[in-house]
Amino acid sequence: MTNPQPYESVSLTPDLNTVKGFEVNGVKDGVRYSGDCPRCGHPWEKVVPDEVVVMALEAERPESEDEGIHVVQCNCTHPHPDRPDGITVGCGAYWGLRVRNAAKGNENEERVG
């Protein structure tokens, strides 16, 4: 990207095709979600530990008891103009990621939150 987007804290609702492009990989004691930021197009990732999923499920009571919603914030390492002092990564975009708890016998799945 020649002219990177300026930093802006903005909530997004990625379309289904974008969400389907996110990668889901099991890691020790959790799940790694990654993909290209729907706003700036740079790579991001988030690791959700199994324990966090279970705790979130108990606290949030989402649509079903084996799902949880996690906020993903762009954490790309590319420079974005106007990034506030003290913030070293990201373009400011964030979105919800609904995940299923594999510990309850379901596959991990990402959907628009």
Q: Each residue of 81-112: pLDDT tens digit?
A: 999 999 999 999 999 887 765 554 444 444 44
| 43-49/23-27 β-pairing | unpaired
Please answer whether residues 80 and 5 qualify as being in contact, where contact means their C-beta atoms are separated by less than 8 angstroms: yes
Helix/strand/coil (H, E, C) string of the chain? CCCCCCCCCEECCCCHHHHHCCEEEEECCEEEEEEECCCCCCEEEEEEEHHHHHHHHHHHCCCCCCEEEEEEECCCCCCCCCCCCCCCCCCCEEEEEEEECHHHCCCCCCEEC
Q: Looking at the chain, how many residues does it have?
A: 113
Whether the predicted pLDDT of 58 surpasses 70:
no
Residue-level pLDDT at 57: 47
Whether the predicted pLDDT of 20 surpasses 80:
yes
